Structure 1
Amino acid sequence: MINRALEQSILRSLNYFPIVGILGPRQVGKTTLARKLMNELSKPAVYYDLELIEDFQTISQNTTWVLENNIDKTIVIDEVQRLLPLFPQLRALVDRKREVARFILLGSASPDFLQKSSESLAGRIAYHELSPILRSEAESAFIPQVTHWHRGGFPDALLAPDNDYWYQWQQNFIKTYVEQDLSQLGINATIPVINNFLRMISHLHGSLLNYATISNSLGMANPTVKRYIEILEQAYLVRRLEPWFVNVSKRIVKSPKIYIRDSGNLHFLTNVRHYEDLIMHPIAGASWEGYVIEQIIPLLDPAIRPYFYRTSNGAEMDLVLVDGVTPVVSIEIKLSLAPALKRGSTESVADLKTMNNYVVTPNGGNAAVRPQWIHCNIHELIGHLKTLKMIAEPA
């Protein structure tokens, strides 16, 4: 089993909050993590999976009995978004007996989970988002970077015996999302249209998001395209990275950039079956950029916000980490092993006034390439961000 960095943060929340919610896409490892947490709690725990008919009926038909007869245990409820009316009852029980670690709620691909739980359980619940396995986690399990980058971080995909099994897993994963989850979340298009939509987003990976371009290409209305992308974001499939507005005297690009969050999903959607195909594919540079971004953002302290920066004059920075209203770190991401900086990068740093600037390549080296610029790899970058206290250390 690959140890997850989020585990210690969740345990810390369980030492204070009566309810902890673990969010993330299906198959990301929420159930595995929850079962491990159950063994580390100071009191007994019981587990219910609402995708199982017998568990769903037990909870839905005998809610009061189940909850009150397990009052001295931690109750773990998986796929809790399938029974949202449960939340007011959880609130009542917590208010009647407020103590730590009463409930662990696991949910996937459901904006209703966040909305309903926030309304009913405000002040009683702490949320944690479980991402696919990160490079720092895969590294501790001796999984090569090239394997992790190509296959992505979903556990069963990453650990597949060979690339044929990996491809089959991805095929089944996307099929399930397209045919079940996305339609339930409000994407009402036909299956071929949804598949085309996902593949078009994959080809825009790392680019500025232009809703009109997608609308015209697929024959959809602009509002429909925006709503579908919002749903994909809520389902943890895509990320919109917002631009940082720092200097009103400059013409700043104000459109977000869009990324497929998991590199394995991206490579399946662009039909990249092997790593050897990836490094020769036109998507390689953008894929590496998105991959690095997704290894950093889940680790950031909640006070640190990620952005990109671009002006109409060509100044550009792939990732800018902002503390409050102050840009602190600029990160240029390059697939090339040569850490040479372009004028757009140096101009961006001059605009942003960041003192900590990094060029991230696959091999790195932790070498200064010019004043206030360090050439590093992902592992080395995480070390620098920990030193700057931009990554929260486990308690």
Structure 2
Amino acid sequence: MALENGLDKFKQFRYTIDNIAMQKYQRLAKIALNKLNFKEDAKIVAILGSRQVGKTTLLIDFSLDWKGKVIKYLGDRLEDALLWKGKFSDLKNKLEVAIGCPLEKIDLPVLLIFDEVQKIPEAFNNLKILHDEFKEKIKIAISGSSSLSLLHRTSESLGGRVEIVNMYPLSFTEILSGAPRPLWMEKSRMDFETIRSEALGFSDANERAENVLDKALSYGLFPEAYLQDNIDEVKLLHQNYHQTYIEKDVRDLREVGNVLDFDLVWKIAHRTCGQILNYTNISRETGLAFNTVKKYISVLIASFNVCLLPSFCKDIRSRLVKSPKLFSVDIGFFNHCLNLYGKANLISSQLVGRTFESLMVSEFFKQERSYLFGGEPYFFRTAAGAEVDLVVEQGLDLFAYEFKYSEKVTNSDFSGIRSLMELSKGRLKRGFVLSRQSHAEKFADNLFAVPWWFFCSVN
């Protein structure tokens, strides 16, 4: 029954690597998990995320702080599979033996962890019964290496009973801060003197932040890749992830008719990271039907491989680009698809600006999707070419962010933000250019340049 006994050597290694990351960096997903607090009416918690982001380790780490008894199951362990495929009455008896009392008489809530639960489809009905009858006594947390399969199973069998915690690769907030919390929108509302003072207070962290950025540009931010010191090992990790994702996560999905065709879309999606999503071009390049391409992109989004940044078009009387931009959740796959590893190679390829933009957009997604602080992200581009990399709508207010890899910000870097300010009729409250410039600088009322790490909770 113990989860650890069901792990093979590779999973033990994966757990060791993820545990190092968990100990070294406090994960935003753990903060979100703690925030749920498993109240009396709490739902089943499902940890969703791509492979190798540390979902299993998160649950094990969370269980160490649990005050009551913890029971762990593993979906690919034969003994557990047979138990959860059986009758609920048999499962209840086994649970009572493990806990040491009838379920009705549990005093201190029990934490039940079920990893790789999607591998036992029959388990979901038993989970539903267990939750419905004993949710005050037993708190359930589930996860799996295939988040797409897990999402299907939970929506079909556990509708209305599940609270989702999203988990992503490492964020800059997690790496640069000992006690991270999502500060993006909070800092966006600061007055300039506070911004300048905070940036000065963290100026000694600039060199460390630059080293982190250099490594992220080259290795990506999957925990195992980021913790490597050997670029060849990183290449192998990305290659293995790609192969495992296609062969294990995708092959059995009803939405995917042909895995080789899907693989073509996977490669094109990551290769065009940071660009306008054009289904017609992908259809033409792959020879696949337009609707098939749309379906495959939806699978990539649901499996935490890519994310879409929609165009901001609300109440704007101007010709705008309305198609979304597509971003890799981890820039390592962009490097993998182009075989473009190392800062020097990125700079010589003239793609480092696009890579930097992708990292920063991904950082916002990780903070917002992990903690849900209420900001809707967009990008902005007019038909004439005025563009803003990230626009966040919070209530009636807009905030604009431009990302520049340069070490010096100039007045012209705010041109897209000024266009949006003019067209949005007073809704734009602040505009920021984030760059490798180490200090904050005011260019006009509510137009500020800040170090790229300013919104990443540096300490």
TM-score, with structure 2 as normaliser: 0.77
Match of 1:212 among 250, 262, 280: 280
Alignment of 1:195-210 (within 5 A): 195-210=263-278
SS at match of 1:273: coil
* 2:51 paired with 1:26: yes
| Contact 1:15–1:101 (CA under 8 A) maintained in structure 2 | no
Give the deviation of 1:112 after TM superposition.
4.8
**In the alignment, which residue of structure 2 is the partner of 1:333?**
403
**In the alignment, which residue of structure 2 is the partner of 1:347?**
419
Residues 39-69 of structure 1 show CA distances to partners (whole Å, capped at 9, x for unaligned) of 0112121222213344333332465534543
Residues 68-89 of structure 1 show CA distances to partners (whole Å, capped at 9, x for unaligned) of 4355521111122223443333
**In the alignment, which residue of structure 1 is the partner of 2:203?**
none
Give the deviation of 1:160 after TM superposition.
1.7
Residues 190-218 of structure 1 show CA distances to partners (whole Å, capped at 9, x for unaligned) of 53x44433332223211111111111111
Percent of residue pairs bearing the same amino acid type? 26
114-123 or 270-279, which deviates more: 114-123
Structure 1 residues 190 and 81: CA distance shift in structure 2, 3 A: closer
Matches of 1:245 and 1:61 in 2, distance apart?
53
In proportion to residue count, which structure has more helix?
2
- RMSD, aligned CA: 2.4
**In the alignment, which residue of structure 1 is the partner of 2:303?**
235
* 2:308 paired with 1:244: no
Give the deviation of 1:131 after TM superposition.
0.6
SS at match of 1:188: coil
Matches of 1:84 and 1:309 in 2, distance apart?
43
**In the alignment, which residue of structure 2 is the partner of 1:365?**
439
| Contact 2:266–2:300 (CA under 8 A) maintained in structure 1 | no
| Contact 2:112–2:140 (CA under 8 A) maintained in structure 1 | yes
**In the alignment, which residue of structure 2 is the partner of 1:390?**
none
Match of 2:117 among 68, 80, 84: 80
| Contact 1:14–1:101 (CA under 8 A) maintained in structure 2 | no
Residues 115-151 of structure 1 show CA distances to partners (whole Å, capped at 9, x for unaligned) of 4424544443311100101111122477722112321
The amino acid of 2:65's aligned partner reads E
Structure 1 residues 13 and 304: CA distance shift in structure 2, 3 A: same
Where in structure 2 are there 5+ consecutive unaligned residues?
1-22, 179-207
Where in structure 1 are there 5+ consecutive unaligned residues?
385-395
Match of 1:138 among 150, 167, 175: 175
Matches of 1:329 and 1:64 in 2, distance apart?
55
Alignment of 1:308-323 (within 5 A): 308-323=379-394
31-40 or 7-16, which deviates more: 7-16
The amino acid of 1:312's aligned partner reads A
Give the deviation of 1:24 after TM superposition.
0.4
Matches of 1:160 and 1:87 in 2, distance apart?
37
* 2:131 paired with 1:98: no
SS at match of 1:280: helix
Structure 1 residues 14 and 105: CA distance shift in structure 2, 3 A: farther
Report the count of equivalent residues.
382
The amino acid of 2:423's aligned partner reads D
**In the alignment, which residue of structure 1 is the partner of 2:258?**
189
**In the alignment, which residue of structure 2 is the partner of 1:303?**
374
3-12 or 193-202, which deviates more: 193-202
Give the deviation of 1:18 after TM superposition.
4.1
Matches of 1:64 and 1:368 in 2, distance apart?
67
Matches of 1:100 and 1:266 in 2, distance apart?
46
Give the deviation of 1:305 after TM superposition.
1.2
Matches of 1:292 and 1:55 in 2, distance apart?
42
Alignment of 1:4-153 (within 5 A): 4-16=27-39, 17-61=42-86, 64-66=89-91, 68-69=95-96, 70=99, 71=103, 72=106, 73-99=110-136, 102-118=139-155, 120-140=157-177, 144-153=212-221
**In the alignment, which residue of structure 2 is the partner of 1:289?**
357
Give the deviation of 1:236 after TM superposition.
0.6
